[in-house]
C-alpha cells in the first residue's frame, strides 16, 4: 500500500503518580529526519525512540515530544527537635524579659532548620517501559494516518496517469493525420525529411512505458516516493521532446496538458514515503 508522509499520533503514559503525554507528528521530507522535544534528563531515550520510529517510518520529518503532566508532589519534612528547641528558647526569653510568648506556627516554619522541602524527581530509566509502550501506540496512529493519505494520493496519481494515456492517444492520432496530409502535399524527398524530423513514435512508446512503470510502482507501494519522482522526470523529458519535434497547435496543447499532469505527479511524489 502507498504511504503518505503526513501523520499524527498521541498517547498517554502512566507510572504510579507520574503521568505524561507523547505526541508524534510527521510531515514531508526527502529523508528520515527526527526532532526530539524531551524533558531535561531524558536525552538517553533518543536512540531507543529512533529505533522504534524507524520500524514504521522510512521517510519524513518526525517530531517526537514527551511532556510530564503529573509527578509526585513535593515532600515536606519537619525537624521536630528544632521546633522544641525554638519553643523552649521562646518561653525562656518571655520569662526572662517579661514579654509575651506569641510565637506562631508560621514564625517557627520560617526559622532555619525547621522545614525541609524536597523536589520530586522523575527517574528516566524507571519511566522507559511506559514511554516505549506510549511511543508504539502513538506510532500506530501515525502509520494508519499516513496509509490513509497514501491511498488518496495513489488514487489521484492513477487518475493523472489515466488522463496522460488519453493525451498520448490524441497525440498519436494527430501525428498520423499530419503525416497523411504532408505526404499528399510534399515531394517524396521532402516528406522523407519531414517524417524523420517529426517521428515521435519512440517518445510516445517510452512515455507509455513510464506510465505503466508508475502504475506498477503504485501497486507495489513500498517507499515509492523517490522512484516515482525519478519516473516523472523521465516523463517530462519525453514530453519535452515530443513538443519540440512536432510543431502543431493541437499537439502543443496536448503536450502542455501532459506537462501539467506530470508536474502534479511530481508534486504528489513529494508527499509519498
Q: Which domains does the chain have, with CATH numbers?
A: 7-71+124-145 (3.30.230.10), 75-118 (no CATH), 150-269 (1.20.140)
Distance CA 245, CA 251 (A): 10
For residue 216, pLDDT over 70 is answered with yes
Contacts (Cβ under 8 Å, ≥6 apart) of 250: 170, 174
Question: 123 in the Ramachandran plot: left (φ > 0), alpha (ψ -120 to 50) or beta?
Answer: beta
Over residues 29-56, mean pLDDT: 93
Cell of 103: 510565637
Give the least confident one: 29-43, 76-90, 165-179, 245-259.
76-90
119 band by pLDDT with thresholds 50, 70 and 90: low
- Structural contact between residues 211 and 163, judged by C-beta atoms closer than 8 angstroms: no
pLDDT at 239: 96
List residues bridging with 12 in a β-sheet.
Answer: 21
Over residues 136-150, mean pLDDT: 96
pLDDT at 63: 98
Distance CA 201, CA 175 (A): 9
Q: Given the C-alpha cell 512503470, which residue does it identify?
A: 213
For residue 53, pLDDT over 90 is answered with yes
120 band by pLDDT with thresholds 50, 70 and 90: low
For residue 109, pLDDT over 90 is answered with no
DSSP annotation of 44 = T
Coil, strand or helix at 140? helix
Q: β-pairing, 32-37 with 60-70? A: parallel
Sign of CA dihedral 206, 209, 215, 221: negative
Cβ-based neighbour number of residue 77 at 10 Å: 10
Over residues 15-19, mean pLDDT: 88
Over residues 155-176, mean pLDDT: 95
Over residues 167-184, mean pLDDT: 91
Q: Given the C-alpha cell 496509509, which residue does it identify?
A: 147
Over residues 215-225, mean pLDDT: 88
- The string of DSSP letters for 141-210 reads HHHHHHHHHHHHHHHHHHHHHHHHHHHHHHHHHHHHHHHHHHHHHS-HHHHHHHHHHT--HHHHHHHHHH
Q: In what order do the strands lie in the sheet with 7-15?
A: 7-15, 18-27, 60-70, 32-37
For residue 105, pLDDT over 90 is answered with no
For residue 149, pLDDT over 80 is answered with yes
Percentage of the chain beyond pLDDT 90 is 65
For residue 113, pLDDT over 90 is answered with no
At 61-87, the pLDDT tens digits run: 999 999 999 887 767 788 888 889 888
Q: Kindly report the pTM of this predicted structure.
A: 0.75
Amino acid at each position: 500500500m502507498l504511504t503518505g508522509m503526513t501523520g499524527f499520533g498521541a498517547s498517554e503514559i502512566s507510572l504510579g503518580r507520574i503521568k505524561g503525554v507523547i505526541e508524534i507528528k510527521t510531515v514531508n521530507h526527502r529523508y528520515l529526519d527526527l526532532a526530539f522535544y524531551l524533558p531535561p534528563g531524558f536525552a538517553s531515550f533518543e536512540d531507543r525512540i529512533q529505533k522504534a520510529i524507524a520500524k514504521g517510518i522510512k521517510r519524513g520529518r518526525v517530531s517526537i515530544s514527551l511532556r510530564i503532566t503529573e509527578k509526585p508532589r513535593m515532600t515536606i519534612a519537619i525537624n521536630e527537635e528544632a521546633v522544641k528547641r525554638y519553643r523552649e528558647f521562646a518561653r525562656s526569653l518571655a520569662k526572662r524579659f517579661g514579654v509575651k510568648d506569641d510565637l506562631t506556627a508560621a514564625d517557627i516554619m520560617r526559622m532555619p532548620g525547621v522545614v525541609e522541602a524536597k523536589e520530586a524527581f522523575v527517574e528516566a530509566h524507571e519511566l522507559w517501559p511506559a514511554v516505549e509502550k506510549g511511543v508504539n501506540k502513538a506510532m500506530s496512529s501515525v502509520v494508519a494516518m499516513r496509509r490513509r493519505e497514501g491511498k488518496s494520493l495513489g488514487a489521484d496519481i492513477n487518475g493523472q496517469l489515466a488522463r496522460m494515456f488519453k493525451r498520448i492517444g490524441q497525440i498519436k492520432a494527430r501525428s498520423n493525420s499530419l503525416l497523411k496530409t504532408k505526404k499528399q502535399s510534399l515531394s517524396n524527398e521532402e516528406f522523407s525529411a519531414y517524417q524523420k524530423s517529426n517521428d515521435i513514435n519512440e517518445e510516445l512508446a517510452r512515455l507509455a512505458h513510464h506510465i505503466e512503470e508508475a502504475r506498477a510502482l503504485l501497486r507495489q507501494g513500498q517507499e515509492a516516493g523517490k522512484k516515482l519522482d525519478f519516473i516523472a522526470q523521465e516523463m517530462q523529458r519525453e514530453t519535452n521532446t515530443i513538443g519540440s519535434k512536432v510543431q502543431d497547435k493541437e499537439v502543443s496543447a496536448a503536450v502542455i496538458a501532459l506537462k501539467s499532469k506530470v508536474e502534479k505527479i511530481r508534486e504528489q511524489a513529494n508527499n509519498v514515503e
